[in-house]
Chains A and B, each alone.
Chain A
Amino acid sequence: MEEATTSRFSATTLRAYIMIAVLGLIWAYFHWATDSIFLTPRNLSNLMTQMSVTAILAVGMLMVIVSGNIDLSVGSVLGFAGGLAAYSITIWEYGLPTAIIAAIAVGVIIGVFHGVLTAYLNIPAFIVTLGGLLAWRGAVKWQLGGNTVPVSNDTFKAIGNENVPETIGWALAAVAIAFVLFMAYRKAKSVKDYGLGEANYTGELLKAVIPIGGIVAFILVMNSYQGVPIPVLILVAVALIGAFVTNSTTFGRYLYAIGGNADAARLSGINNKANILKVYALLGALTGVAALIFTARVGSAAPDAGVLKELDAIAACVIGGASLMGGRGTIFGACLGALIMASLDNGMSLLNVRDFMQDIIKGSILVAAVGLDMMGRKQT
């Protein structure tokens, strides 16, 4: 009788608007409280760079969470992959390409290993990756012998610390805008091609104004400091790929189906085990990428690199609306969640809030965000 009209799309969109509004409030408050330091190009550039590692992990984590699983080990795996990269470049002197491949490959191998234990041996993901959290941290300490290994290669360090020149920034913006326009055109045209009505080119063009404006504003702000930071560029690429995978591939749809109802997914012909294995491998690859940025930024690999990063990534997903029960969550939400967390870190540091207080506030906000979400959900 209650044939509700709510669709996943509209509920998610509403949620996204609310989150953007919350982010706006946080930014406005910090900007006011820091005497107009927060929203300067310099600080925004720092903020974006700071969030990139967490956000890249969150993109992978989101997909794992959507499939109804979890990975508690990414912080330790990040440390291990980063350590391997630093070791191979400084001690073994293998050169940059090898170091990059090694970090990503070890992430994938560990991901596959966790995936096999979870999907094929039916050990709960929580346990497998809790074990991984301990074991891979131990592996980092063993590997580094308790020492910090500096990175000797300047090109490698550039991955975490340099910016792309202004002109390249604009060139990338032009490509991005062209892509947005192409997608708008394709969408309008497909309506006509499939006989669903007339193509509404003006309407789609108007809808494209917001993303195009966002791209231009982003490049303007970044260029008015030092250009787009390379970690941010990598994050944007990872997030776009993640959004494409979750929204527009069969693999992405299968992840939502498995997390939403594993039995129904299996009986619909989906190979649940293989897809869970794949999603862990994907998170492993992204952990490798995050490890490279992290190590490059710090300029060295330390035994405690990446500690608690798994919790940041999970928190970002959850603040962004993902359900730990699986089946629900978006890449956009996870990135926004990471941005909110990074904004809190950055703003509170600018305000010289003591670090124990920062932890208490962040923890409370995580719980409050999910609490409000649940209240909102119950009413509908």
Chain B
Amino acid sequence: MPLLEMRNIVKEFPGVRALDGVSFTLEAGEFHSLVGENGAGKSTLMKVLSGVYPEGTFTGEILVDGGVSHFRGIRDSEAAGIAIIFQELSLVKELTVGENIFLGKEPSNFGVINWSELYHKASNLLRDLHLPIDPRVNVGSLGIGQQQLVEIAKALSQDAKILVLDEPTAALTESEVETLFGILRNLLARGVGMIYISHKLDEVFAMSDRITVLRDGRTVSTHKAADITKDGVIAAMVGREVGDIFPNPDHEHGEVAMRVSNLNAYSIDVPDKKVVDNISFDVRRGEVLGIAGLMGAGRTELLMSIFGAWQGPVSRRIEIGGRQANINSPGDAISQGVGFVTEDRKRFGLILEQTILDNMTLAGLRTISGKFVTNRTRETIAAKGPMQSLRIKANSPLTIAGTLSGGNQQKVVLGKWLLTNPKVLFLDEPTRGIDVGAKQEIYAEINRLAKEGLAIVLVSSELPEVLGLSDRIIVLHEGRMAGQFTRDEATPEKVMAAATGHPQ
């Protein structure tokens, strides 16, 4: 008897059938990955499982330990031993680790919290997980990776039998990922069943017993991980065979578009601490320059400093098109032909409640629409181009950006910067958290832009992406230049070695 069985789940939204008869089983101690493009129905299925969509809003059955469950809300599913760790962290940063773990379930007598018991239990739990975290420190003072691990500790404090992890490694460093997987292996051995949602197929294959692929709200296939290849999974996800994900760049390089000399940037909080240490580089027209490095290596800080957006002290010399450029604000950078597709589109890229059109025209508004008085019609026409060339899937330019899928949101951000007519385009994690199909479209667009003569600086945490797209790669380690490779020289091993500070 499986630990969990979902039978024939159908969930409809007005006009859309998000889940169309999905069935899914999970055994005790099994690691079962759920993969599919964004919008395939993974999150919806998990919301059905967790009671976010209560019974009656969908059809089909959920059986836990063979018994039919009736979840009217998240509390019911928690009581049944189901714990979900969502992509966005749900911790209270101002509270301590211990307070967060027991939030809403504090050990108490008549409403008076027993603090020593709470912290005692919390430290036991953390020790069980081999997490060297003090339960009395504020969550906000931990790094994002450790926060994620606290989140998992919180889920386990509820004696979860079924653990659902939705993209848990998106913000983790390699070593944190290893810690996490170590913990997960322990739990598997104890009989906890896990449903793992991820776009990172390497992780999926490293951990999974079985892999289920969803597409358009239907189950495409469920395989033992040993019986299927990555290409097979990708083909099942996109519904077509994928050739080489990275089209051969073959770019023609022109003159130097931007030269940055002796860039130093200091931390906002600790003024003496350098976050970028004496970096110099140039990028030519038609060239894709990749910047690799681990989290915290200073990649984003480097781009922000060039762009005039870093809020700590900065010193550097910038030449654009051979002439010295004075850039003191993003506005200066834009007017001198620098565009910046920032990381974390929801936080830095988009105004989610506004339309595609409003978002796309924001950065270039004064040139697209009018210096002081705007012109809607002119904006609509300007936005039409990128909407078509980037294949943004939306009913109209007036669709609210927040309702789009991640891939389409990312294309809107890219479109916004193309509308500023940049000569140099920075891309910071341009494909994070988006599905394979949209990724390929963005890769193709990057190559097309390079071919048109744009100079591109690409920051990405996904090594294959940097290696596959870049003509040249700079590797940063703790703010310093740790290596430089041409496309032919670069291998994953060499780049990773430089990024970890141990060049071969």
- Contact surface of A with B, Cβ cutoff 8 Å: 1-10, 190-191, 193-194, 196, 248-254, 256-257, 260-261, 263-271, 327-328
Q: How far is the CA of A4 from the CA of B373 in the complex (A)?
A: 30
CB of B39 within 8 Å of the partner chain: yes
Instruction: Select one of A6, A196, A257, A268 contacting B400, CB under 8 A.
Output: A6
Q: Is the CB of B371 within 8 A of A250?
A: yes
0/1 string, B360-388, CB within 8 A of A gives 1: 00110110011111100110110000000
A264 to B346, CA, bound (A): 9
B351 and A7 form a contact (CB under 8 A): no
Contact A249:B377 (CB < 8 A) given known A4-B399, A269-B330? no
- Please, which residues of chain A bring their CB within 8 A of the CB of B378? 194
Q: Kindly identify which residue among A2, A9, A251, A269 contacts B372, using a CB–CB cutoff of 8 Å.
A: A251
Of the candidates A1, A5, A193, A196, the one having the most CB atoms from chain B within 10 angstroms of its own CB is A1
| Contact yes or no, A3 B396, CB < 8 A | no
B291 to chain A, nearest CB (A): 18
Contacts of A249 in B (CB 8 A): 372-374
Complex contact B39–A1 (CB within 8 A): yes
Across the interface, name the chain A residue whose C-beta is closest to B17: A1
Query: Is there an interface contact between A267 and B348, defined as CB atoms closer than 8 Å?
Result: yes
In the complex, how many angstroms separate the beta carbon of A171 from the nearest chain B beta carbon? 27
Closest residue of B by beta carbon distance from A244: B373
User: Which residue on B lies nearest to A186, using beta carbons?
Assistant: B377
A157 to B167, CA, bound (A): 68
Q: Are A268 and B395 in contact (CB under 8 A)?
A: no
Is B330's CB under 8 angstroms from A191's CB? Answer: no
Residues of A within 8 A of B307 (CB): 267
How long is the Cα–Cα vector from A224 to B400 in the complex, in angstroms? Answer: 46
Q: Give the residue name and chain of the B residue nearest to A328 (CB).
A: B353
Residue of B333, B362, B372, B398 touching A265 (CB-CB under 8 A) = B362
17 contacts between A and B (CB under 8 A): A1-B41, A2-B403, A3-B393, A3-B399, A3-B403, A7-B398, A7-B399, A8-B354, A9-B398, A248-B373, A249-B373, A250-B372, A251-B372, A256-B351, A260-B354, A268-B330, A270-B362
Please state if B350 and A269 are interface contacts (CB–CB under 8 Å): no
- Is B62 an interface residue, CB under 8 A from the partner? no
Closest Cβ–Cβ distance, residue A331 to chain B (whole Å): 15
Please tell me which one of the listed residues B309, B354, B369, B380 contacts residue A267 in the complex, with CB atoms under 8 A apart. B309
A-B pairs, top 4 by smallest CB distance, nearest first, are: A7-B398, A260-B351, A1-B39, A268-B363
A249 to B400, CA, bound (A): 21
Q: Which residue of A lies closest to B329 (CB)?
A: A271
Q: Is the CB of B330 within 8 A of A267?
A: yes
In contact, A264 and B350 (Cβ under 8 angstroms): yes
How would you classify the secondary structure of chain A's contact residues: helix, strand, loop or mixed? Answer: helix
Within 8 Å by CB of A253, from B18, B362, B381, lies B362
Instruction: Tell me the bound Cα distance from A260 to B354 in angstroms.
Output: 8
| Residues of B close to A254: CB separation below 8 A | 365
CA A10 to CA B504, docked complex, whole Å: 60
CA distance A264 to B401 in the complex (A): 13
A2–B400 CA distance with the chains assembled, in angstroms = 11
B400 contacts A248, C-beta separation under 8 Å: no
Q: A1-B41, A2-B403 are in contact. Are A270 and B331 (CB under 8 A)?
A: yes
Q: What distance in Å separates the Cβ of A11 from its nearest Cβ neighbour in chain B? A: 9
Tell yes or no: B187 within 8 A of A by CB: no
Choose one: A3, A196, A257; the contact of B404 (CB below 8 Å): A3
Please, how many angstroms separate the alpha-carbon atoms of A373 and B362 in the complex?
Answer: 28
Pair A257/B362 contact, Cβ less than 8 Å: yes
Give bound CA distance, A190 to B330, whole Å.
33
**Alpha-carbon gap, A293 to B160, bound state (A):** 67
Chain A nearest CB, measured from B214 CB (Å): 11
Task: Give chain A residues whose Cβ lies under 8 Å from the Cβ of B374.
Answer: 248-250, 252-253
- Docked complex: B83-139 residues within 8 A CB-CB of A: none
Q: Is B347 in the interface zone, CB < 8 Å from A?
A: yes
The 0/1 profile, CB within 8 Å of A marked 1, for residues 284-306 of chain B is 00000000000000000000000
5 additional contacts, CB 8 Å, given A267-B342, A270-B331, A328-B353?
Answer: A2-B403, A9-B355, A249-B373, A250-B366, A269-B335
The smallest beta-carbon distance between B285 and chain A, in angstroms, is 22
Q: B309's closest neighbor in chain A, by CB?
A: A267
Q: Is the CB of A261 within 8 A of B351?
A: yes
Chain A proximity of B129: nearest CB distance (Å): 34
